[in-house]
Amino acid sequence: MPENIVAILPELGLAIAQTFMMLAIGLSAALVIGGPLGVLLFLLGPGQSLEHKPTFLILNWIVNTVRSFPFIILLVALVPFTRVIAGTSIGPLAAAVPLSVAAIPYLARLVDQCLREVPRGVIEAAHAMGASELQIIWRVLIVEARSGLVLAFTVLAVSFLSYSAIAGVVGGGGIGDLAIRYGYYRFQTDVMVLTVALLVVLVQIIQFVGNTAARRLDKR
């Protein structure tokens, strides 16, 4: 094993742990806030049971606006907000703040799109049987769209694994930070290749787990 690789093994373990921490915080925020926001977007949309055009337009604009920002720009723009929330603008905890802000509207849009795939007749049948909105959400919408929702969450996880690497450019920690410090600044090509290979492996694992779970949940 090359000497450069051996020398960074302790830091590599820390970088992997930092990456998973950033992902866990960002994905949790997306699931807790972005998921319900996506459901609300769907229900407030045209032709839905809670249709309310002004509120829908406002939420839709917010989601589209935040999603339109390139992540590196959002990362820098949120530095003051990050300092308030995390107490610092560097490190994995600080990087998790813009990751969360970006992940929430990203998942909200994916959830909205998944729910639009649910046959309208199924929703109308549930309404006809007297089901409440909460029952329709949990027992109809989420059940019918569960396979697509898992795939959407998988897409989010894969995308934000790369975003967490971008956070390393500005001292966010994680695998990206390791690649920049050793692979780029110190011209250690073997370290760069290792970090890229590691990211590829992680993406493959996440995608495989997501596809397998979605396939088992798909009852069509």
1 pLDDT more than 60? no
| Domain count across the chain | 1
pLDDT number for residue 33: 95
> For 15-44, what is the mean pLDDT?
93
In the structure, what pLDDT confidence band is assigned to residue 8 with cuts at 50, 70 and 90?
confident
pLDDT digits (tens, 9 = 90+) for 90-114: 888 888 899 999 999 999 999 999 9
CATH of residue 132's domain is: 1.10.3720.10
Domain hosting 126: range is 3-217
In the structure, what pLDDT confidence band is assigned to residue 2 with cuts at 50, 70 and 90?
low
pTM above 0.95, yes or no: no
Q: Say if CB 138 and CB 151 are below 8 A apart.
A: no
